[in-house]
Chains A and B, each alone.
Chain A
């Protein structure tokens, strides 16, 4: 078969030629030799970003700018073989360096970037494959909830997801994964029926399939066991639920003096015990937009028929049909009364997609 260089390979060769202008001390400062960096750059077919590259500051950045870390290299893996290349590389260096995975980069402790180590960016593993008949979805670790929810909405199916649409599946699922529908359908990780993970040991990289019957210990550990602990997630299969019609609501206690009693009530009657599992909500104390004082609000959804599933929701007077998956209620109008003001069934127009 004739060998023809891909555009990527041509670009990589040009990039390495450009390194002639990068002084040796720059490589040395980054903790790598010119030869080792050149070997990885030319020996792989995916994008690598080094400290001396123009896009380094953008590509090393976490979602939260509070975290400023300076990795040796960020690799945008496209295939499992690329992940294995990066893992091998971390061991081939004269002193092994730490490796972390990044899906959406939202880790609130900054665990998806590491100074002087290797970041395996999984954002290009973002496939979504839905089997509507069996109500299963197999997705890449780097798929955003924006993309996953859009794909699920087409099929009227749902899996609990996060509030922030740029969060990706891998970090969220391995951290448990709380969502507005978790009280009804469980944590995101509870809905994983199978996953594929690249593990690494003294003999190199291996691909493990895990489910209730295959590698059950790994299956147990990865669901909620936090990312970066057991291997590099390559795909996840979820069980899905039909979900198309929801009620949305917002309640605001504008006077913060009412908040302690309201929080006590939420704790005792609208969390672990009390409210129907079909109710999901997110209480928050903050200064709402256009307000000057902090207030308590809770914003959420109800997936049921009010009079049948939860008589208390009789206040609902108007029915809305919502696309279910991109669930992110926002604040409703403010109230100046110290008692709570209920604004039921008045979903904000943007986060909810009215059919």
Chain B
């Protein structure tokens, strides 16, 4: 299962520390957190050029959460749903 977000307002050091600490609470060692850096040609395109409007982002961030037994699903999904890091 995946969860993702665009980071349009830069995160400070405390924020990135919280994200790393949150990752360390993962229920599964196959989970991963990725960033896709924006800028360059992506940001040069005006937001109204087409339906992809995320031209101002610094990065997008996505988290993969895996489980291998049905009994682990709830925990894996709950970890993904954490909003307050």
Contacts and interface: CB of A to CB of B under 8 A. Distances in A.
- Decide whether A and B assemble into one complex: yes
Interface in B11-57: 11-13, 16-17, 19-20, 23-24, 26, 29-45, 49-54, 56-57
A268 B15 CA distance: 13
A271 B20 contact: no
A284 B32 contact: yes
Interface in A264-291: 264, 266-268, 270-277, 280-287
A220 B51 CA distance: 6
Interface string B56-79: 111110000000000001000000
Given A185-B41, A283-B37, A286-B33, A267 B13 contact: no
A103 B27 CA distance: 32
A256 interface: yes
B45 A266 contact: no
Contacts, number: 137
A332 B31 CA distance: 19
Contacts of B31: 286
A183 interface: yes
Contacts of B43: 272
A282 B52 contact: no
A26 interface: no
Given A190-B41, A285-B23, A286-B32, A272 B52 contact: no
Contacts of B35: 263, 266-267, 271, 282-284
A279 to B, nearest CB: 8
A167 to B, nearest CB: 14
B50 A186 contact: no
B22 to A, nearest CB: 10
Contacts of A267: 7, 10-11, 16, 35, 58-59
Interface in A211-232: 219-226
A273 B32 contact: no
B50 A263 contact: no
B1 A264 contact: no
A280 B59 CA distance: 12
A108 interface: yes
B41 A277 contact: yes
A10 interface: no
Nearest to A262: B16
A271 B59 contact: yes
- What are the 9 closest A-B residue pairs judged by CB atoms, nearest first? A224-B52, A277-B40, A183-B40, A225-B51, A271-B37, A286-B32, A223-B50, A224-B51, A186-B41
30 contacts: A66-B1, A182-B42, A183-B42, A184-B40, A186-B42, A187-B42, A189-B50, A190-B45, A219-B50, A220-B50, A220-B51, A225-B52, A260-B13, A266-B37, A267-B10, A267-B16, A267-B59, A268-B10, A271-B35, A271-B37, A272-B56, A272-B59, A277-B40, A282-B35, A282-B36, A283-B34, A283-B35, A283-B59, A294-B23, A294-B24
Interface of B: 1-2, 4, 7, 10-13, 16-17, 19-20, 23-24, 26, 29-45, 49-54, 56-60, 73
Interface of A: 64, 66, 108-109, 176, 178, 182-187, 189-190, 219-226, 256, 259-261, 263-264, 266-268, 270-277, 280-287, 294, 296
Given A266-B37, A275-B39, 9 more contacts: A66-B73, A182-B42, A183-B42, A186-B41, A186-B44, A187-B42, A263-B11, A277-B39, A283-B35
